[in-house]
Every structure is written in C-alpha cells, then in structure tokens.
C-alpha cells in the first residue's frame, strides 16, 4: 500500500509519557517527592503529553495544477517614441517644416519679449530603417544661464556703479521648447514649457538682442563708413512718429538701439575683416585668395612662397598671365561704360567749354532741374581727361570718361586696352642701358657749393610767383601727368628717354635742403673688444664697458650675489680633510687604470 502524496490521521494511538518531568524550578524545593506510579494510566496522567496536529492537517488534499505563463502582449499599433506615439503623448504641438517652426519661434519671442537659444542637439543612436526619430533639439530661455549659475562671479567692489547687467538669473528659468524630427516626413513635433520664472513683456525688453534684420542693416551701414550717431538717428527715426507709438510691438527692441549696440556690431565686423586663425600662415593664405577672388590685389610675402611669387611676377611681366591689373580694371570699366545711354550724356552747351555731363549710375539725376546733382563733369581739355567722381583717382580713368570716349569719338579719348610690355623698368638690363650715360655728378660743381664741403647745405629761397606763373605750373603738371600715363601705356625707346630723364633730374633740384647730406656709416667695428673705430666714426665717446660690482642689486654674502651686473649663484667652499682628499685621489687613479 502506497501513502505517497496523502496525509493520514491517527486517532486511536495513545500518547506516551516522557521519562522526565517539566515541573517549575521555583516550586522544586517545596514540593514533595511524587509516589511511584502504579499503573500505566496513572503514569500517563502524571507526565505531560505531546501535542498532536489538527485533523485537517492529516486529511488528504488534491494536487493543484501548474499555472501556465501569460501569453505575450500583442504588438503595438505605433512604435514607441515614434511620430504617432509622440503626437498622442508628450509632443502635442505640430509644425509643417522646420522653417515654419523658426518663423513661429521668432514671432512668438517678439510678441512676449523673450528670447530662446539652441541649448542641445541630440541625434538618434539608431541608424537605418530601425530609427523612429532622427534629431531632438532643445531651446531654452536666455535668462536660464545654463551652467553659469554654478560658478558665480565674485564682485570685489560692489560699491562701484556699472552699466553692464547680467542676463542669467540666479536660479535660472525653466521655460524650454523641445522639437523632434522623424524619418520619412518633414513635419516636426514639439513640447513647450511656458513656466517663465521672470516677468515677460516690456520688463524683459532690455534683456533681448536686436533682430537679425536690424543687425544686418547696421553692419551694412558700418561697412559704408556711416558714423555711429548717423546710424543711431536713422534707426531711431520714425519710432515715435507712428500712431501706435504707445503700444508695445515686436519691433520695439530694434527702435531702442543704442550706441553700445552699434559699437559692438562695428567691432564684430572689424574682427571678421582682420582677425586671423591661430595658424597665421594658413589664415593669411586664405585671406589673400579671398581678396583675389573679389578682384583686389594682394601680395603675400613669405619665405616659402618667394620662388613661386617671383616666377608668377616674371610671367606677369612677360605677358603669359594675361593683362596686368591696371589693364584688367580698364577693360572692366570699358565694359560698364557700354551700359551708359548716350541720351543721358549732356555735351558742352557753349563754345570754349570742353566739359561733358555724364549721369551717375547709382543716383538717378533730376533732368527737369538745372542743377547738376546726379551728374559728373568730364573735362577733356587735359590729357588724360579728368572726372569729378570718387573712382577716378584710382586709375585716372573711370566709367564716365570711358562713356564719353565711347559715344563721342571726336573727343579722341584713349580707351584702348594695351597688352603688357615685354620689358619694363623692373628689368636690370633696361636699368643698365638707361643709366649707361654718365649724368652730371655733384663733384663737378664748385667746392664751395658742394653739399659735402658744408655741414649743412644752404637753403635756396623760393621766388615769389605771379598768378600767371602758378597757372602755368598747374598746366605743366597736368601735361607731365598725361605724359607719365602715356609712357606707362606706350613704352618708348631708350634713346628718347635719356633727354627726358636728364631734364627731370635737372629740374628736380630741391628748393630747400634742411637736413645735411646723407653719410654712409659702417656697422659696428671692434678689434679685440675695442670699439674705438665705431666711436670715431660716430663722433661720440662711448661709456666705460666695465660694469659695477653688484650692479644687479645683490650684496656680498647673499646666495645670489651680482658680479659685474650678472647674477651668479654663490656657493660656500666645501671643507674636506686631507685624508678624504687623498682617498678620493687614489680612487680616481684606480678608475683611470681600469679604463
């Protein structure tokens, strides 16, 4: 018979007495010795009995079946952190594209007079088709300060009044905007926390920055050279003329521009113009390339690029690199002159006046008025013709001069483009040929008039000139300038240049010579440390070369005592006995023998 898995109950089994008694120790001394039992029942009653489990414990019970695992939950209808899941959850705000969000953010910030900046950009770590979102961007209020609150600035002198103020609050601002982008769609979702810990509106207006349009307008005026006060007047002009002057609007911060804002933008544009990278050579090369692309001329002088620039210069002189910079600019000027209408050019109205009025290309002239505002005067009586515009002195040639020469050929204005000459005055061979003929030297003059015989050359007084002489000098200067331009454009043979050069040297004597003649001074010459030759040449007696003892401030007995002006470390003599010195000498001798 098997009893596995069942519990039994024994009702008829008597309990057995224990061989000892559980009497209390406190009554042990007073209790009398018990009489020996006579029967089994008396012994069982006298001794304590064992406890028996209840009847329900011994009754057989049925075995419960095992519970199976719950079935897995059905798959989600939308992936977690996906577009649909976020739209129904923590990101209820929706925009069409990122551009729509930027427009909303700008208008919302201006309406509440608050400002948000990008604080964190986090990309999804899952790539490929498994990614449910691509990027999450967090914008925080500028009054939050981010990590600036952890390291507060210690004000050592709070009694001083300062104009600057700090944007971040001591406890920060909790307002934030979080947006997320998702793959496969341009729509974005966002979450906006409106809990600003500071007042909004006009109270927060001074903590805002200028709009991007205002900063761009100020930067353009700064580049044009407009003064700060003029920019301030133009930016603030009309701010209080409108009917809504007393109503807070989105453009109030732009109308409250100050001189500090203009100075800050001016310094920023100036730094962008000249600030270089820590790697100076690399940034300089990039800046030179940018200037060349813009049409300017920049010469980079470095040791590494000397050979390259020398070869490039030779190609420029030989004409292999095309037109030089001047001829290129003249060619561009002639191209722009073709856009000037011939109907807008006013020819001379009276005989004897050789001046044309050419309309400006940037300012529309007033044709109904007799005033010449918007016109530039081109004088063809001189060679080359002159113009009153600001771009003429650069090349002595401009669009207005080219337009007159292009539309009125009878003026004989030279608008041709000349190729670069094969040889110029930069070549040493031309210099030798030009100066091969000896010129009159100062030594041929009388000894009394030579500058070398006198400590100071006597000034030659300029004679008083009449008005006719002054006018003749001005006309001669114009003719010489025309001749210089002609020589630069059309090189002449050396035989024709010699008399012109001699005449120029003869006429270019200084009217007054205040400084003495230049003397060639040899470099410092010393023989065995003696500078007497240099002192004799310079005419000054030198000071004693020996320096005073302790000239550097030291004193005798200190650790760093100055000796003849130089700091030398002083060490006390080391005391050694004769026995130690003899042992050391023997050791050195033994070492020499080993090696």
pLDDT tens per residue across span 190-207: 999 888 888 888 888 878
Determine the Cα–Cα distance for residues 399 and 475; give it in Å rounded to an integer.
24
Reported in sequence order, the residue ranges of 291-409 that DSSP labels E, i.e. its strands, are: 355-359, 375-379, 386-387
Answer yes or no: is pLDDT of 180 > 90. yes
Rounded CA-CA distance 141/177 in Å is 9
Is 70 exceeded by the pLDDT of residue 552?
A: no
Compute the distance between CA of residue 584 and CA of residue 587 in angstroms, rounded to an integer. 5
Average pLDDT over residues 478-493: 79
CA diameter of the chain: 176
Greatest mean pLDDT among 71-80, 170-179, 230-239, 577-586: 170-179
Q: Answer yes or no: are the C-beta atoms of 498 and 437 closer than 8 Å.
A: yes
- Using CA of residue 310, residue 311, residue 317, residue 322, what is the dihedral sign? negative
- Output the pLDDT for position 177: 93
Q: Which residue has the tokens 């539309």?
A: 407
pLDDT > 90 in the chain, percent: 8
Half-sphere exposure in the Cβ direction for 330 (13 Å, CA): 17
Other C-beta atoms lying within 10 Å of the C-beta of residue 486: 13
pLDDT in the model for residue 565? 41
Q: What is the mean pLDDT of the chain?
A: 70
The three-class DSSP label of residue 140 is strand
Neighbours of 404 (CB within 10 A): 26
**Percent of the chain's residues with pLDDT above 70:** 51
3-state secondary structure (DSSP) of residue 122: strand
Q: How far apart are CA 429 and CA 499, in angstroms?
A: 19
DSSP designation for 71 = P
Is residue 428 pLDDT above 80, yes or no? Answer: no
- Tell me how far apart the alpha carbons of residues 471 and 477 are, in angstroms, rounded to a whole number: 10
Confidence bin at 42 (pLDDT 50/70/90): low
Length of the chain: 595
For the ranges 142-146, 214-218, 442-446, 584-588, which has the lowest average pLDDT?
442-446
Q: Could you tell me which residue, 95 or 277, shows the higher pLDDT?
A: 95
Distance CA 79, CA 304 (A): 61
**Is pLDDT at 379 greater than 80 in this prediction?**
yes
Residue 403 is predicted with a pLDDT of 92
**Is-contact 443 343, C-beta < 8 A?**
no
- Quote the DSSP letter at residue 368: S
H/E element holding 118? strand 116-123
Is the pLDDT score of 564 beyond 50?
no
- Residue indicated by tokens 């600019």: 329
Q: Which distant-in-sequence residues (6+ apart) come within 8 Å of 258 by Cβ?
A: 232
Most confident of 258-262, 463-467, 517-521, 574-578: 258-262
Torsion over CA: 447, 450, 451, 452 (sign): negative
Q: With H, G, I as helix, E, B as strand and everything else as coil, classify residue 241.
A: coil
| Four-residue CA torsion sign, 538, 540, 546, 550 | negative
**Any idea which of 252-266, 281-295, 303-317 has the lowest mean pLDDT?**
303-317
Which of 116-125, 493-502, 555-564 has the highest mean predicted lDDT (pLDDT)?
A: 116-125
Confidence bin at 539 (pLDDT 50/70/90) = low
Alpha helices in 490-552 (DSSP H): 494-507, 532-538
Q: What average pLDDT does range 69-94 have in this prediction?
A: 81
Q: Residue 184 is inside which H or E element, if any?
A: none
Q: Is the pLDDT of residue 184 over 60?
A: yes
What pLDDT sits at residue 269?
A: 77
Q: For residues 283 and 361, which has the higher predicted lDDT (pLDDT)? A: 361
Quote the pLDDT of residue 169. 79
Residue 401 is predicted with a pLDDT of 92
Q: What is the pLDDT of residue 515?
A: 56
Q: What is the pLDDT of residue 442?
A: 38
Asked if the bond preceding 475 is cis, omega within 30° of 0, the reply is: no
Across the range 100-128, mean pLDDT stands at 88
DSSP code of residue 25: G
Residue 174 — pLDDT band, cuts 50, 70, 90? confident
Q: Is residue 386 helix, strand or coil?
A: strand
Q: Determine contact, residues 41/15, Cβ cutoff 8 Å.
A: no
- Contact, 355 vs 377, CB < 8 A? yes
Q: What would the two tokens of residue 92 be?
A: 């209820």
pLDDT attached to residue 274: 63
- Count of Cβ atoms closer than 10 Å to residue 192 Cβ: 15
Q: How far is CA 173 from CA 105, 196, 209, 314, 368, in A?
A: 17, 6, 18, 66, 63
The residues near 284 (Cβ < 8 Å, ≥ 6 apart) are 276, 300
Provide the pairing of β-strand 93-95 with 375-379.
Answer: unpaired
Backbone dihedral region of 113: left (phi > 0), alpha (psi from -120 to 50 degrees) or beta?
A: left
pLDDT, position 253 = 78
361 phi and psi angles, rounded to 5 deg: -85, -15
Q: Looking at per-residue confidence, does 537 or 6 come out higher?
A: 537
> Can you give the pTM of this predicted structure?
0.36
Name the residue with higher pLDDT: 303 or 326.
326
Residue that is written with structure tokens 């040297």 in the block = 505
The yes-or-no verdict on residue 82 having pLDDT over 90 is no
Res. 526: pLDDT tops 70: no
Task: Assess whether the previous peptide bond of 384 is cis (omega < 30° from 0).
Answer: yes
The answer to whether the beta carbons of residues 302 and 281 sit under 8 Å apart is yes
Q: For residue 181, what pLDDT is reported?
A: 93
pLDDT-based confidence at residue 495 (cuts at 50, 70, 90) = confident
């Amino acid at each position: 018979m098997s009893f596995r898995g069942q519990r039994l109950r024994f009702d008829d089994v008597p309990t057995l007495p224990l061989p000892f008694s559980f009497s209390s120790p406190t009554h042990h001394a007073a209790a009398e010795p018990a009489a020996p039992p006579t029967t089994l029942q008396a012994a069982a009653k006298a001794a304590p009995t064992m406890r028996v489990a209840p009847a329900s414990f011994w009754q057989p019970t049925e075995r419960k079946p095992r519970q199976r695992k719950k079935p897995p939950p059905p798959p989600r209808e939308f992936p977690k952190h996906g577009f649909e899941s976020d739209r129904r959850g923590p990101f209820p705000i929706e925009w069409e594209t990122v551009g729509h969000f930027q427009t909303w953010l700008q208008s919302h910030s201006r309406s509440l007079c608050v400002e948000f900046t990008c604080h964190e950009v986090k990309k999804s770590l899952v790539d490929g088709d498994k990614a449910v979102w691509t990027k999450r961007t967090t914008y925080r209020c500028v009054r939050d300060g981010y990590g600036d609150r952890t390291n507060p600035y210690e004000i050592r002198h709070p009694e001083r009044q300062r104009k600057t103020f700090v944007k971040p609050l001591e406890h920060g601002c909790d307002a934030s905007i979080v947006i997320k982008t998702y793959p496969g769609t341009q729509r974005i979702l966002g979450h906006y926390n409106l809990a600003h810990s500071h007042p909004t509106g006009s109270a927060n207006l001074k903590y805002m920055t200028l709009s991007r349009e205002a900063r761009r307008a100020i930067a353009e005026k700064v580049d044009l050279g407009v003064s700060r006060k003029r920019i301030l007047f133009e930016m603030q002009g009309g701010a209080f003329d409108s009917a809504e002057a007393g109503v807070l609007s989105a453009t109030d911060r732009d109308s409250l521009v100050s001189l500090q804002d203009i100075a800050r933008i001016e310094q920023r544009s100036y730094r962008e113009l000249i600030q270089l990278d820590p790697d100076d050579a690399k940034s300089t090369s990039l800046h030179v390339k940018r200037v060349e692309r813009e049409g300017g001329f920049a010469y980079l002088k470095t040791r590494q690029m000397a050979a390259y620039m020398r070869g490039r210069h030779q190609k420029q002189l030989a004409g292999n690199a095309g037109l030089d910079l001047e001829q290129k600019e003249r060619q561009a000027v002639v191209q722009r002159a073709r856009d000037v209408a011939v109907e807008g050019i006013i020819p001379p109205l009276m005989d004897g006046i050789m001046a044309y009025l050419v309309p400006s290309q940037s300012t529309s002239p007033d044709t109904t008025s007799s005033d010449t505002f918007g016109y530039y005067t081109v004088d063809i009586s001189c060679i080359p013709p002159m113009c009153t515009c600001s771009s003429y002195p650069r090349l002595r040639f401009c669009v207005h001069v080219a337009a007159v020469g292009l539309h009125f050929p009878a003026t004989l204005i030279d608008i041709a483009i000349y190729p670069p000459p094969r040889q110029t005055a930069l070549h040493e061979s031309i210099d030798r040929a030009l100066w091969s003929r000896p010129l009159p030297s100062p030594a041929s003059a009388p000894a009394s008039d030579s500058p070398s015989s006198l400590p100071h050359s006597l000034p030659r007084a300029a004679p008083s000139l009449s008005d006719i002489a002054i006018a003749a000098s001005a006309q001669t200067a114009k003719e010489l300038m025309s001749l210089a331009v002609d020589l630069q454009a059309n090189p002449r043979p050396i035989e024709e240049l010699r008399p012109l050069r001699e005449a120029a040297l003869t006429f270019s004597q200084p009217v007054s010579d205040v400084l003495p003649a230049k003397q060639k001074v040899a470099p410092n010459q010393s023989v065995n440390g003696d500078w007497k030759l240099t002192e004799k040449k310079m005419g000054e007696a030198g000071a004693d070369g020996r320096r005073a003892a302790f000239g550097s401030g030291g004193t005798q007995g200190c650790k760093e005592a100055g000796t003849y002006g130089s700091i030398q470390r002083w060490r006390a003599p080391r005391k050694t006995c004769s026995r130690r010195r003899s042992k050391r000498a023997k050791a050195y001798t033994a070492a020499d023998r080993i090696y």
